[in-house]
Structure 1
């Protein structure tokens, strides 16, 4: 019985890992169940033994991909010299290899517009995974006197947009786009993270 349970779990993990890669590479709409199972070396029957629908697999695969993104950031933060954690995250994320290989990168950068149109249950699961990434980036912002979560959210949004823009650009422009994106993310992390929250109203009275 334990062997069967382990084999079933291994099969599910293979399906999720394959889907995470294929979805980021081809997009959600272009990835059908039959194609996903073929890439995993499994049958359609195996799919329905684990998931009720393609949407259920999409949600689990994207959350899994984002967990890998967060773990990679956490590793870079741990390995960074003192005071260089944010720089390490930015350098890691805004890598030309990330531009060239969406199938191995951040699912938000690869699938953002499609994910925004998924059912609410899928979006809520993905939002939780995004917030874990934001919390990890917040840990990389040094000497915070403002709102580290707001700063981290701005940094992440900026980096996602940079990767998306770089993927649409002429290859010759990619280095300049990544460099500009790094400056923007660094500036956002430092300016928002170090700002002092205003105690008055927006009118400045």
Structure 2
């Protein structure tokens, strides 16, 4: 049976999407090649028809995760006035929905401790993806100069990432919401 020319690309994208969600939900070790391929309805043996290594899949799945959250935050920013776009991003990021659905959340919230232990080659590839993410968010950040926007990006996103990580540890939604609200209020009044 012959497949359409774009079939291989479509299968690869499905594998990447499935891996992206699995990695964020279960961590790097939860995304075994066999589990990812099973999710995609394929056999373990077909993996190397699409990827040279598990690291290649990991980087692509991180890229997909960063793009997914960047798209969601960009949509929030674009739906606001330019001077308040960053506030819409903060509200979207520090929402209970974002906190409770780690499989769709920012890869940094789900994976920062694991990614920090990656080897140097992998860290360079992760840094490239993080830099792309930062570039997409900078236009929305408060500040007149690029340097001011970069400082705001790192302060805002570091605070939001840490807040989500702490909130996710809490057993009840009301407790998580209290932490998210405190950080939201702090950030929205700080810039």
Q: Same fold (TM over 0.5)?
A: yes
Residues 30 and 82 of structure 1: CA distance in aligned 2, closer, same or farther (over 3 Å): closer
Q: Distance in 1 between matches of 2:175 and 2:60?
A: 35
Q: Is structure 2 residue 161 aligned with structure 1 residue 160?
A: yes
| Structure 1: runs of 5 or more not aligned | 191-205
Correspondence 1:77 to 2:77 = yes
Task: Give the deviation of 1:139 after TM superposition.
Answer: 1.6
In the alignment, the residues of structure 1 paired with residue 185 and residue 131 of structure 2 have an alpha-carbon distance, to the nearest angstrom, of: 23
CA offset digits 1:88-145 (Å, max 9, x no partner)? 0001111101111100111110111111112323222222222233233332234536
**C-alpha deviation, 1:81, in angstroms:** 2.6
Q: Could you list the runs of 5+ residues in structure 2 that have no partner in the other structure? A: none
Provide the TM-score with structure 1 as the length reference: 0.84
* TM-score when normalising by structure 2: 0.90
Higher mean displacement: 114-123 or 38-47: 114-123
Match of 1:170 in 2: 171
Shift of 1:57: 0.7
C-alpha contact (below 8 Å) 2:22/2:30 kept by paired residues: no
Q: Deviations over 1:150-185 (max 9, x none)?
A: 111111111111111110123131111101221333
Aligned CA RMSD, in angstroms, stands at 1.9
In 2, distance between residues paired with 1:93 and 1:157? 12
1:143 and 1:107 map into 2 onto residues whose CA distance is: 26
Q: Which has the larger radius of gyration?
A: 1
Q: Which residue of 2 aligns with 1:44?
A: 44
State how many pairs are aligned. Answer: 188
